């Protein structure tokens, strides 16, 4: 009986939040949803250096989820995130991403990440504006070829 009451209470709570979300109203005390406009993103891109990598410019944050803008030129290291997946969206530009395979000259950068000079045996794919790329946890990835410059949104998805 207690389990049924708990399940019913949970269901009512979930439906209440879903209804509020549909109506655009948050429950009292709920934080505002983070947002960024296209013009704010354009301003961030305009401030990025055109001749070097600019990584980790925060666009949005909600709890453990961080959406960053990364402006890339040639010379980015290969990486493996051992405890999180990574989602990329190409905002501007084009290049080639390599995923899978094995890191070359692997080094530990911190307790959850590895880096390398390149990837051996990975799969290459050309990416351009509007493309989405999901890199699973533990998979080597690198964008070694960039056509001019490349600006991506990255979202790390912790376990």
Which has the higher per-residue pLDDT, 71 or 55?
A: 71
Q: Which one is predicted more confidently, 126 or 9?
A: 126
Burial of 60 (0-12, 13-18, 19+ CB in 10 A): middle
Tokens matching residue 96: 């080639």
Q: Which residue has the higher pLDDT, 23 or 91?
A: 91
* pLDDT for res 34: 84
What is the pLDDT at residue 27? 60
Question: Is the CB of residue 111 less than 8 Å from the CB of residue 139?
Answer: no
Of 16-20, 91-95, 145-149, which range is least confident? Answer: 16-20
Name the residue with higher pLDDT: 7 or 143.
143
Task: Give pLDDT, residue 31.
Answer: 64
Beta bridge partners of 102: 120
Q: Where are the beta strands (DSSP E) in 31-101?
A: 54-62, 65-72, 78-81, 84-99
pLDDT above 70: residue 23: no
CA distance 126 to 108: 28
The band of 112, judged by pLDDT with boundaries at 50, 70 and 90, is very high
- Predicted confidence (pLDDT) per residue in 57-78, tens digit: 888 888 888 899 988 887 789 9
- How far from 114 is each of 16, 78, 90, 140, 156, CA to CA, in Å? 43, 8, 23, 9, 15
Whether the full predicted model's pTM is greater than 0.85, yes or no, is no
Q: DSSP of 109-137, one letter per residue?
A: EETTEEEESEEES-EEEEEETT-EEEE-T
Please give the backbone phi and psi of residue 15, each rounded to the nearest 5 degrees, phi first: -65, -35
Distance from C-alpha of 93 to C-alpha of 4, rounded to nearest angstrom: 54
User: pLDDT tens digits for 74-104?
Assistant: 778 999 999 999 999 999 999 999 999 999 9
pLDDT tops 50 at residue 13: no
DSSP 106: -
DSSP type of residue 6: H
């Amino acid at each position: 009986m207690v389990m049924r009451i708990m399940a019913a209470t949970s269901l009512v709570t979930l439906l209440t939040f879903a209804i509020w979300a549909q109506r655009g109203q948050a429950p009292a005390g709920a934080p505002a949803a983070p947002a960024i406009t296209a013009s704010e993103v354009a301003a961030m891109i305009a401030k990025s250096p055109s001749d070097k990598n600019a990584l980790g410019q925060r666009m949005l944050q909600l709890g453990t989820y961080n959406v960053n803008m990364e402006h890339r030129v040639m010379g980015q290291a290969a990486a493996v995130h051992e405890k999180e997946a990574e989602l990329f969206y190409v905002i501007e530009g084009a290049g080639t991403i390599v995923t899978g395979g094995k890191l070359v000259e692997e080094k530990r950068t911190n307790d959850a990440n590895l880096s390398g000079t390149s990837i051996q045996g990975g799969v290459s794919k050309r990416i351009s504006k509007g493309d989405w790329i999901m890199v699973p946890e533990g998979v080597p990835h690198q964008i070694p070829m960039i056509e001019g410059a490349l600006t991506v949104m990255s979202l790390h998805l912790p376990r």
